[in-house]
Amino acid sequence: MGLDAERIVTKVLKVAALPAVAMKFSEAIKDPLTSNQDLENIVSEDSALAAKVLMIANSALFNFPSKIDTISKAITIIGHKQLSELILSCSIVAMFKDIPQDVVDMEQFWRHSISVATAARILAASRHEQNIEKYFTAGLLHDIGKLIIFIEVPKYALEIINQGKEKNELMYKVEKEVLGFDHANIGALLLKKWKLPENIVSSVYYHHMPSVSSGDIIGPGIIHTADVITHALQFGSSGDYFVPEFNEKAWESLDLDVEILSSVIEQLNVQYNEAVKYILG
């Protein structure tokens, strides 16, 4: 059988518009005439978001030696683009925080996603990638397609989880059989409609199979590796009972020493708890 992913996403879009502040911020930074004061005014429209931005800026994720006590300082230090992505990520998590708990434990789901986001950011930093926040966002949203399935077709979601357990199979494989598409496909479709950057969309689309990515393999490779590390450490859960198979080609393409993994895990242990505290509140 096959359901229509496009139609399901269109339904989600009707109820889940991207938060105005996040949209305004990302539009504003495209205009070279926008000042830091303009950006501060936009963030300050949402006081909960402004507080969150300050907490994240002061967390172990950034590790700045001095306290960042104003939004304009956070904007200067973190950078426009990176802050825009952080705001977007926090807004999306807030949007999907309160969905019914009968199919998935949302706290565990976001813990899994936050761990993948944090590990992806650390891996990207180890590779000296520019704009490491992009990887954080992609990690945070990599399994968002599961939420779409849980919300829009809950009957199938339960069937997928049960079949996965019975057959010892990963959810994305069962999803393909039951729905005709998997959570990576439908998640990427939603992010594309939300006009997120192309590399974030493709990192999400190919996170289970980075080596078949038609374009850049680094983004999907980083998210895939971060996902495997997170499963192995059992930080949170997005509904799967098994650790996904590690794609060696993706790891090779990252061109990182194996020894670096212990340092990645060490940093993840510290930063994961901080990120959970600040993002989930």
Q: What is the DSSP letter of 211?
A: G
Classify residue 217 as left (phi > 0), alpha (psi -120 to 50) or beta.
alpha
Residue 182, interface with Fe ion (CB under 5 A)?
Answer: no
Task: Tell whether the torsion through CA atoms of 193, 278, 121 and 105 is positive or negative.
Answer: negative
Q: Which stretch binds Fe ion (CB under 5 A): 51-59, 67-75, 235-243, 253-261?
A: 235-243
To the nearest whole angstrom, how small is the minimum distance from the Cβ of residue 112 to Fe ion? 6
What tokens appear for 5 in the block? 């992913």
Q: Nearer to Fe ion by C-beta: 46 or 143?
A: 143
To the nearest whole angstrom, how small is the minimum distance from the Cβ of residue 197 to Fe ion? 19
Q: Which residues in the 90-149 window bind Fe ion by CB under 5 A?
A: 143
Q: How far apart are the first and last CA of the chain?
A: 40
Q: Nearer to Fe ion by C-beta: 74 or 171?
A: 171
To the nearest whole angstrom, how small is the minimum distance from the Cβ of residue 170 to Fe ion? 8
Q: Nearer to Fe ion by C-beta: 42 or 114?
A: 114
Q: Which stretch binds Fe ion (CB under 5 A): 99-107, 218-226, 237-245, 247-255?
A: 237-245
Residue 227, interface with Fe ion (CB under 5 A)?
Answer: yes
To the nearest whole angstrom, how small is the minimum distance from the Cβ of residue 156 to Fe ion? 16
Number of residues that bind Fe ion (CB under 5 A): 3
Which residues, other chains included, contact 5 with Cβ-Cβ below 8 Å and sequence gap of 6+? 179, 180, 181, 185, 186, 189
CB atoms within 10 A of CB 180: 13
To the nearest whole angstrom, how small is the minimum distance from the Cβ of residue 222 to Fe ion? 13
Q: Nearer to Fe ion by C-beta: 46 or 227?
A: 227
Q: Nearer to Fe ion by C-beta: 227 or 274?
A: 227
Burial of 166 (0-12, 13-18, 19+ CB in 10 A): exposed
Contacts 24+ apart (CB under 8 A), 120-123: 120/222, 120/223, 120/225, 120/226, 121/61, 121/271, 122/264, 122/267, 122/268, 122/271, 123/222, 123/225, 123/226, 123/254, 123/256, 123/264
To the nearest whole angstrom, how small is the minimum distance from the Cβ of residue 105 to Fe ion? 14
Q: Nearer to Fe ion by C-beta: 238 or 247?
A: 238
Chain residues binding Fe ion by CB under 5 A are 143, 227, 238
